[in-house]
Copies of this chain bind each other. A is one copy, B any other.
Amino acid sequence: MIDKSLLTGSTTMLILKLLDETNMYGYQMIEELREKSNNTFELKAGTLYPLLHILEQKKMLTSYEETADNTRVRKYYSITKTGRKHLQEKKEEWKIYTAAVNNLLGGASFGTI
């Protein structure tokens, strides 16, 4: 099984990216991430919910409750302007970092194309 420790820290960016597309509730984010990553990401509920609370405190998200057909109450989250700004920054960092790692992993081997 794949060791998740390689990329800890990218969770916030991924959550913001999901919400940049459409409003979602927590449980849905876990499913979306799993599906869209072909089971590579299996974000745990115990990780997500506290993180959502923190992102709301930091004004990156706002939330509202909505009752589905049945009566099950879901807590939907929406990205704010601050959240979008943060997402852009994280995406830039991501580009720089992965480029640096890939350069290190692939570089220094003269003679290969």
- Please give the residue numbers on chain A whose beta carbons come within 8 Å of chain B beta carbons, in ascending order: 2-10, 13-14, 17-18, 21, 33, 36-38, 40-41, 90-91, 93-108, 110-113
Q: Is the CB of B111 within 8 A of A91?
A: no
Q: Which residues of B contact A97 (CB under 8 A)?
A: 2, 6-7, 40
A113 and B107 contact, CB distance less than 8 A = no
For the A-B complex with A6-B94, A36-B103, A99-B111 known, give 14 more contacts whose Cβ atoms are closer than 8 Å: A6-B90, A6-B97, A7-B98, A10-B101, A14-B104, A21-B108, A40-B100, A91-B105, A94-B101, A94-B110, A98-B111, A102-B111, A102-B112, A103-B111
Cβ–Cβ contact B13 & A6, under 8 A: yes
Evaluate contact between A104 and B37: CB separation under 8 angstroms: yes
Give the docked Cα–Cα distance between A2 and B95 (Å): 11
Q: Are A10 and B6 in contact (CB under 8 A)?
A: yes
Shortest C-beta distance, A17 to chain B (Å), equals 6
Residue of B nearest to A3 (CB): B93
CA distance A96 to B111 in the complex (A): 9
Pick 16 A–B contacts, CB within 8 A, sort by A.
A2-B93, A5-B8, A5-B9, A6-B10, A6-B13, A6-B90, A6-B97, A7-B7, A7-B9, A7-B101, A8-B9, A14-B101, A37-B103, A41-B100, A103-B111, A105-B113
